[in-house]
């Protein structure tokens, strides 16, 4: 392998992560780097791992809360991993940094569908695969054929969908950087597929606060129940802490009304969890990922 020049990779220092997350809270990372290839990611991770330095991977930051104090070490931003190649038999290989909306639109131009699960999320391919993003309209993992990752020591690995062990908002990809994913998509009737996508968008826009700054759903749905409905039934919509509030539209979203801190959001999440446990007897588990300083290494 030709060793990439790590020094040539674009780097920003002390940039507040509030700029890089959809809920717009979070302090700075020591440095944020923007590798363009899997090899550059591997070189970055290997150099951090060798020295025992902390690093984390960041996509669109749409399911993420970052502490106000920020995080030490390196944030590997996947936004420059933007390759997109269509192959035979409905396959497409997308760089981790490709927006899921772009993947969906480009696939549709080639009469390929099956990505209903991605409608309405401001996500990247890497984040959607790593979190197995989805909901009522399916899950990302169901369309994945293989994934290229850089593991915790900087080795490049190609994993099958089975290796990824996709589960509810989880996969075995934690602690790696997803650099690209290959999907196998079914051929579709484009007009019917397009109207289905529009319908899902309409439904989501009516039921979720898509126009407000949020980190998507905060809690996982407990078995057989909807976390949003539970929060709603406990009368907690509109409850606030500082600039953070439980959405009036959907009980499972916390929105940043302007000027919220991560601390506001975390305290509000705790309030809601405690209140739902007290009133409904259900302990809600968070879905959203939280970056805290005391967790070293890959996140
Ligand atoms: N409901 C209420 N009040 C609320 C919210 C919901 O009564 O404040 C009711 C709804 O009317 C519906 C039921 O609860 O009858 C379920 O709600 P919804 O259809 O919105 O689905 P959900 O279970 O709350 C899940 C995913 C969403 C995904 C939607 C649609 C989880 C935790 N949530 O929400 O995913 O968009 O289905 O597929 O899996 C996310 O992952 O960030 C996310 C938002």
pLDDT for 126-149, tens place per residue?
999 999 999 999 999 999 999 999
pTM of structure: 0.93
State the pLDDT confidence band at 7, using cuts at 50, 70 and 90: confident
Q: What is the pLDDT of residue 299?
A: 44
Q: Inform me whether the pLDDT recorded for 230 exceeds 50.
A: yes
Strand-pair partners of 99: 124
Distance CA 117, CA 114 (A): 8
Pocket test for ligand 1, best of 228, 237, 285, 287 (most atoms within 8 A of CB): 228
Pocket test for ligand 1, best of 116, 252, 255, 285 (most atoms within 8 A of CB): 252
Q: What is the pLDDT of residue 4?
A: 77
Distance CA 12, CA 8 (A): 12
Whole-number mean pLDDT of the chain? 95
DSSP string of 229-265, one letter each residue: HHHHHTT-TT-EETTEEE-SS-TTEEEE-SS--HHHH
pLDDT for 70-115, tens place per residue?
999 999 999 999 999 999 999 999 999 999 999 999 999 999 999 9
Q: What is the pLDDT of residue 87?
A: 98
Distance CA 20, CA 150 (A): 22
């Amino acid at each position: 392998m030709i060793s990439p020049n790590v020094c040539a990779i674009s780097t920003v220092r002390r940039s507040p992560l509030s700029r890089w997350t959809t809920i717009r809270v979070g302090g700075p990372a020591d440095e944020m780097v923007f590798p363009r290839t899997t090899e550059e990611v591997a070189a970055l991770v290997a150099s951090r791992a060798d020295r025992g330095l902390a690093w984390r991977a960041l996509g669109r930051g749409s399911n993420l809360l970052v502490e106000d104090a920020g995080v030490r070490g390196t944030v590997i931003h996947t936004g420059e991993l933007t390759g997109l190649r269509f192959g035979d038999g409905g396959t497409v290989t997308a760089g981790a940094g490709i927006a899921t909306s772009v993947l969906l639109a480009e696939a549709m131009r080639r009469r390929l569908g099956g990505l209903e699960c991605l409608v309405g999320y401001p996500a990247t391919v890497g984040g959607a695969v790593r979190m197995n993003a989805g909901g009522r309209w399916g899950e990302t993992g169901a369309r994945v054929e293989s994934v290229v990752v850089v593991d915790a020591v900087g080795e490049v690995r190609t994993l099958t969908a089975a290796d990824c062990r996709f589960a509810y908002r989880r996969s075995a990809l934690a602690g790696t950087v997803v650099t690209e994913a290959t999907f196998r998509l079914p051929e579709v009737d484009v007009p019917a597929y397009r109207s289905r996508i529009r319908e899902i968008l309409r439904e989501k826009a009516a039921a979720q606060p898509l126009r407000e700054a949020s980190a998507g759903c905060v809690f996982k749905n407990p078995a057989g129940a909807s976390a949003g409905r539970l929060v709603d039934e406990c009368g907690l919509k509109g409850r606030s802490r500082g600039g953070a509030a439980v959405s009036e539209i959907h009980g499972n979203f916390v929105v940043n009304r302007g000027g919220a801190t991560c601390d506001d959001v975390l305290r509000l999440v705790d309030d809601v969890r405690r209140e739902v446990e007290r009133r409904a007897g259900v302990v809600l588990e968070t879905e959203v990922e939280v970056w805290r300083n005391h967790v070293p290494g890959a996140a």
